[in-house]
Amino acid sequence: MRPARRDRDAVRTELGVPPQSPLLLVVARLAAQKGLDVLLDAVPAIADRASEPFVAVAGDGPLRGELGARAADEGLPVHLLGRRDDIPELLAAADLFVLPSLWEGPSLVIMEALRAGLPVVASRVGGIPDLYSDVALLVPPGDAGALAGGVARALGDPELAERMRAQAKRAAEALPTEEDTLDQVLAIYGSLAGR
């Protein structure tokens, strides 16, 4: 992922994030698999525990209309940003990364969040626990109360959030680079070609 090219405060101002509000970021396809309905279920409880959260969802998909209508009808502080080309800037502007998926693979977007040094709250599904259990707060999938509790815990405890940021940066250093991936693919091709 390329580095952010714009200032954190400028991005937050562009999005309309009030200065005192924590910015919770989700980057996901707007599809049932991503558990965004669970996120919307959790937002009122998050708002009860955190000062005016601003929830930004970057991505597009078949549930955009339904999710947008629900957020508007319920007056939720959820902002569907659509497809974005400035994910590094959004990550740099965020206070917390949230991924409420109902099922997931290893989740590259969590890798990007860790590289940005963000605390992460995610569902304990698929490949996520194997890769991120020591650096993210993991909650049961489909459990809005647990999701709200994890988010509130990360936002409400500055020492925990700072530890999570430090852990994210350390974990990011151990993540494979593009060169590592290319070397691995070439090694596989080489072994297959040798047969």
Q: What pLDDT does 183 receive?
A: 80
Query: What average pLDDT does range 16-29 have in this prediction?
Result: 96
Instruction: Label residue 176 by pLDDT band (50, 70, 90).
Output: low
111 near 132, Cβ under 8 Å? no
- pTM for the model stands at 0.89
Instruction: Label residue 191 by pLDDT band (50, 70, 90).
Output: confident
29 near 83, Cβ under 8 Å? no
- 81 CB neighbour count, 10 Å cutoff: 16
101 near 122, Cβ under 8 Å? yes
Angle between helices 36-49 and 144-156 (to 10 degrees): 40
39 near 9, Cβ under 8 Å? no
- For the cut 90, the answer to whether the pLDDT of residue 172 exceeds it is no
Identify the CA nearest to 175 among candidates 163, 185, 167.
167
In the chain, domain spans: 8-193
Alpha helices in 55-143 (DSSP H): 64-74, 87-93, 108-115, 128-132
Query: What average pLDDT does range 149-159 have in this prediction?
Result: 95
Mean predicted lDDT score pLDDT of the chain: 93
Q: Count CA atoms closer than 13 A to 190's CA, side-chain side.
A: 6
Q: Indicate the DSSP class of residue 4.
A: P
For residues 137 and 74, give the distance between their C-alpha atoms in angstroms, rounded to a whole number: 27
Name, of 48-57, 116-125, 169-178, the range with top average pLDDT. Answer: 116-125
Q: What pLDDT does 166 receive?
A: 93
Classify domain 8-193 by CATH architecture: 3-Layer(aba) Sandwich (3.40)
Query: For the segment 86-106, what is each residue's pLDDT rounded down to a tens digit?
Result: 999 999 999 999 999 999 988
Query: For the segment 107-151, what is each residue's pLDDT rounded down to a tens digit?
Result: 899 999 999 999 999 999 999 999 898 899 999 999 999 999 999
